[in-house]
């Protein structure tokens, strides 16, 4: 193991041929990347007295290093990043990433944001190839908006469970039951569900778009929690609910939020609207992933309890180094988002594998649902 003392913390990463050779053994590295809780547990176990205070990724033009801040001086055991930079230039590619992906992936991304931002930015890109570091519905949206471009998914199996939690039969039945129904589809849905809907929304613009619809009856798919949140703010509408939910946000535990509030009474609670109402009721702010991040900047509070996927910690700590962030004890982790790794990004850039394919007739059909996204 190559080691270099560093006063800032324990430095981890991968060497410049990182996709084939390793300074540290691969098992350790995989454990490290798994997620922040596991990182902390892993170091607590392996570095006995070195309490891990912070994990961050640092990048300069030549390399990427993952820094684990501990009470002890750190060591560099590797680095990575150059291979992707080179491939990006060769392939005229750009990398988009959602805030829920691993820190080191966020670090090498050219654009990072929530679903709303990424869907807007996707239409403004000059590069011929888009590598989408997220789950499949995000890649599909990018393809709908950019039919001439190549959209590559680092892992074709990374999918959003909620995106499948509605069905054609129910949509058709609702249309029969209500004459004036608008089917409003959360962007976290399959292409097929979007095709069957009237308009596509994100958590950042759902209230504005629903308000602007001429229809009184709204069938909001697939997320019942976001639907209830939007319904509360649009009392003039008649909402019909669907039984879908995000398995990650749905399972944030109310007892754990209460415990975090008791431990950090000064902290503001910032919550994603995919969480159940019981959590929203205990929150100071409810908003999309970017909404949560921006709220920290606008707030005078110094401490925050964050009720959303733990990938946002990276951006929060980078943007607001003087503020403190806590999650519920069982940190929400979307395993599908964490399937995206640097190795897989380099692989698809190199091989062109996992290209998003879409039938042109289907694409044209649901382009209209997407096109209003940028207007709001
Ligand atoms: P936003 O990016 O709209 O906040 O959505 C969160 C989410 O679950 C993305 O999959
Ligand atoms: Fe889907 Fe939830 Fe994962 Fe977002 S966090 S991709 S909604 S499963």
Per-residue pLDDT of the chain (376 residues; tens, 9 = 90+): 333 333 344 444 433 333 322 223 334 444 444 444 555 555 555 554 444 555 555 555 555 555 555 444 333 333 345 678 889 999 999 999 999 998 878 888 999 998 888 888 888 899 999 999 999 999 998 888 888 999 999 999 999 999 999 999 999 999 999 999 999 999 999 988 988 999 999 988 999 999 999 999 999 999 999 999 999 999 999 999 999 999 999 999 999 999 999 999 999 999 999 999 999 999 999 999 999 999 999 999 999 999 999 999 989 988 998 999 999 999 999 999 999 988 899 899 999 999 999 888 877 777 766 665 544 4
Which residue's CA is the nearest one to ligand 2's atom 5? Answer: 334
Return the best residue to mutate from 115, 207, 295 for the ligand 1 pocket (most ligand atoms within 8 A of CB).
115
Which residue's CA is the nearest one to ligand 2's atom 2? Answer: 246
Residue 289 Cα to ligand 1 midpoint, Å, equals: 6
Query: Tokens representing 313?
Result: 């910690």
Q: What is the structure's pLDDT at 107?
A: 82
Q: What is the structure's pLDDT at 81?
A: 57
In degrees and rounded to multiples of 5, residue 348 shows phi and psi of: -70, -30
Which residue's CA is the nearest one to ligand 2's atom 6? Answer: 160
Q: What is the structure's pLDDT at 324?
A: 95
Q: How far is CA 140 from CA 129, 163, 373, in A?
A: 14, 12, 15
Q: What is the structure's pLDDT at 59?
A: 52
Instruction: List all residues whose CB is within 6 A of at least one atom of ligand 2.
Output: 100, 135, 160-162, 188, 246-249, 309, 334, 336-337
Q: Identify which of 30, 39, 6, 14 has the alpha carbon closest to the alpha carbon of residue 313.
A: 39
Q: What is the structure's pLDDT at 15?
A: 34
Instruction: List all residues whose CB is within 6 A of at least one atom of ligand 1.
Output: 114-116, 160, 188, 202-204, 246, 274, 288-289
Q: Which residues pair with 326 in a beta bridge?
A: 305
**Ligand 1 atom nearest to 135, measured from its CA:** 10
Which residue's CA is the nearest one to ligand 1's atom 10? Answer: 188
Tell me 161's DSSP state: G
The count of other CB atoms within 10 Å of the CB of residue 247 is: 15
**Ligand 1 atom nearest to 115, measured from its CA:** 2
Q: What is the structure's pLDDT at 361?
A: 81
Q: What is the structure's pLDDT at 136?
A: 95
H helices present in the chain, as ranges: 26-34, 36-46, 82-91, 103-108, 115-121, 136-145, 168-177, 191-195, 206-212, 224-233, 247-250, 254-263, 277-280, 289-298, 312-319, 342-351, 360-371
H helices present in 320-359, as ranges: 342-351
Ligand approaching nearest to the C-alpha of 115: 1
Asked if residues 356 and 120 have their Cβ atoms less than 8 Å apart, the reply is: no
Q: Is residue 169 classed exposed, middle or buried when 0-12, 13-18 and 19+ CB atoms within 10 A define those classes? A: exposed
């Amino acid at each position: 193991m190559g080691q270099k003392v560093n006063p800032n913390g324990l430095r981890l990463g991968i060497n410049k041929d990182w996709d084939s050779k390793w300074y540290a053994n691969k098992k350790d590295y995989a454990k490290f990347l798994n997620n922040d809780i596991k990182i902390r547990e892993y170091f607590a176990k392996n570095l006995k007295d070195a309490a891990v205070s912070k994990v961050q990724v640092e990048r300069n033009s030549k390399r990427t290093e993952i820094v684990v801040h501990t009470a002890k001086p750190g060591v560099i055991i590797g680095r990575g990043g150059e291979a992707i930079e080179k491939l990006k230039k060769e392939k005229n590619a750009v990398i988009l990433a959602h805030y829920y992906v691993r820190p080191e992936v966020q670090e090498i991304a050219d654009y990072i944001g929530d679903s709303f931002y990424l869907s807007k930015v996707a239409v403004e890109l000059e590069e011929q190839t888009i590598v989408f570091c997220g789950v499949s519905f995000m890649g599909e949206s990018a393809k709908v908006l950019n039919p001439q471009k190549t959209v590559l998914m680092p892992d074709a199996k990374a999918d959003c469970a909620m995106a499948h939690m509605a069905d054609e039969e129910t949509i058709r039945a609702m249309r029969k039951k209500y004459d004036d129904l608008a089917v409003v589809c959360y962007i976290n849905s399959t292409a097929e569900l979007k095709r069957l809907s009237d308009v596509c929304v994100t958590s950042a613009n759902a209230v504005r778009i629903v308000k602007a619809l001429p229809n009184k009856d709204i069938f909001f798919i697939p997320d019942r929690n976001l639907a209830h949140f939007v319904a509360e703010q649009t009392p003039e509408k008649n909402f019909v609910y669907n039984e879908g939910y995000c398995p990650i946000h749905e399972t944030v535990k109310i007892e754990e939020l209460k415990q975090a509030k008791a431990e950090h009474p000064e902290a503001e609670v910032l919550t994603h609207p995919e969480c159940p109402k019981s959590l929203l009721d205990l929150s100071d702010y409810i908003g999309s992933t970017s909404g949560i991040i921006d709220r920290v900047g606008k707030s005078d509070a110094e401490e925050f309890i964050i009720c959303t996927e733990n990938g946002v910690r990276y951006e929060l700590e980078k943007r607001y180094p003087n503020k403190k962030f806590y999650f519920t004890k069982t940190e929400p982790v979307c395993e599908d988002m964490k399937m995206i790794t640097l190795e897989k990004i380099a692989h698809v850039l190199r091989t062109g594998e996992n290209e998003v394919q879409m039938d042109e007739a289907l694409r044209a059909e649901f382009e209209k649902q997407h096109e209003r996204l940028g207007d709001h």
